[in-house]
Amino acid sequence: MKKHNFSAGPSILPQEVLQKAAKAVIDYNNEGLSLIEMSHRSKAFIDIMEHSRALVLELLGLEGKGYQVLFLQGGASLQFLMTAMNLLEKKAGYVNTGAWSEKAIKEAQKIGDIIEVVSSKDANFNYIPKGYNVPSDLDYLHLTSNNTIFGTQIKSFPTTNVPLVCDMSSDIFSRVLDFTQFDLIYAGAQKNMGPAGTTLVVVKEDLLGKVSRNIPAILDYQKHIGADSMLNTPPVFAVYTSMLTLEWLKNEGGIAAIEEANEKKATLMYSEIDLNPLFKGFAAVEDRSPMNATFNLVNEDLKETFDAMLKEAGISGVNGHRSVGGYRASMYNALPIESVQALVEVMSELENKA
């Protein structure tokens, strides 16, 4: 039986994507070669890379608006460093909304001066700070749109002349936003886009080339752009599978359609958390993430029973992160609503039993 996969990442991909990707590993497009043994300089792979880059701009509504798309390696974690390397000259600002923001801050501090503009650490990151002032002399302001561990999401972004850099690793392609408000977006592929191994970077080209440091080639966005995202051997399988997921998303009706589906799943999940007296949500209600729902059992004595029921129902990947405890249901784009229904049923069965 295929499990209900609530993993926070790497996470669920559409079944049809997995099937096509599996076939390509054996024989890509009936060419008699596996995708992963083909030259990245072959026409077949150059087409895959170009199509993937174009699909990203199309889905985000950024075509013809001065943005470049890169598929890099090193995870979102390398972007913590690369963003600073490429953009930090005098001072950058960081909004600290959780463990991933903190890691981004730590890396940027190795490159130059940064300030923490605001933080929600005072309440173990269970909310998104609002109404803060963004100093106008920053090289950029770094935000984490969705806090995977704590289950919070930024609903509206600061209006400022300072360039916005956003880590969208756990909610990219999940909701309609005006993406032109961001100057640089990055996201590890392994939640809403594809397998681990590639990281998406979408950058406004006129933001680059303004720092005085000598950037090592492999960390230099301009070098990657100049090489059409093939400065070195790209992660061919991860890029191809991401392309398949982007095509799937487009066929589903794009981001607007998937947002509607995501909202239905989130409503179902959070209604159960709120109505079932055995559970308590972790994140502030207005900041709840539709991607990652974090919740705890009110009475920890029920944990063993609940865990056994989850296992019996084929539900996997719902253990909370150690810094929050309890449970976390990650409901990325490819998760069917039936999986959320299955989880909600187990939660209400527990209530009936208790």
Told to judge if 27 belongs to the known catalytic residues of this protein, a careful annotator would answer no
Segment lying near ligand PLP (by CB under 6 A), choices 47-55, 74-82, 300-308, 336-344 = 74-82
Told to judge if 248 belongs to the known catalytic residues of this protein, a careful annotator would answer no
Does 169 bind ligand PLP (CB under 6 A)? Our answer is yes
Segment lying near ligand PLP (by CB under 6 A), choices 110-118, 162-170, 303-311, 314-322 = 162-170
Catalytically annotated residue among 139, 171, 183, 191: 191
Q: Does residue 71 contact residue 82 with C-beta atoms inside 8 Å?
A: no
Nearer to ligand PLP (CB atom), residue 76 or residue 141: 76
Does 294 bind ligand PLP (CB under 6 A)? Our answer is no
Contacts of residue 55, defined as CB under 8 A and 6 or more positions apart, other chains included, come to: 243, 246, 247, 250
Contacts of residue 266, defined as CB under 8 A and 6 or more positions apart, other chains included, come to: 288, 290, 293, 331
Does 77 bind ligand PLP (CB under 6 A)? Our answer is yes
Instruction: Out of 68, 86, 126, 148, name the contact with ligand PLP by CB under 6 A.
Output: 148
Phi/psi at 61 (5° precision): 70, 35
Nearer to ligand PLP (CB atom), residue 170 or residue 245: 170
Instruction: Tell the residue number behind the tokens 């253990």, with chain if given.
Output: 319
Contacts of residue 59, defined as CB under 8 A and 6 or more positions apart, other chains included, come to: 173, 246, 249, 250, 254, 255
Q: What is the DSSP string of 22-83?
A: HHHHH-GGGSSS-GGGS-TTSHHHHHHHHHHHHHHHHHHT-TTTTEEEEEESSHHHHHHHHH
* 73 is known to lie in a ligand binding site: no
Instruction: Out of 11, 86, 144, 333, name the contact with ligand PLP by CB under 6 A.
Output: 144
Catalytically annotated residue among 167, 171, 183, 287: 167
Does 102 bind ligand PLP (CB under 6 A)? Our answer is no
Does 167 bind ligand PLP (CB under 6 A)? Our answer is yes
Cis peptide before 10 (omega within 30 of 0): yes
Segment lying near ligand PLP (by CB under 6 A), choices 75-83, 216-224, 244-252, 271-279 = 75-83
Does 75 bind ligand PLP (CB under 6 A)? Our answer is yes
How far is the CA of 351 from the CAs of 285, 298, 330, 346, in angstroms?
22, 12, 22, 9
Q: Which residues are annotated as a binding site?
A: 41, 76-77, 100, 148, 167, 190, 232-233
Annotated binding site for pyridoxal 5'-phosphate: 76-77, 100, 148, 167, 190, 232-233
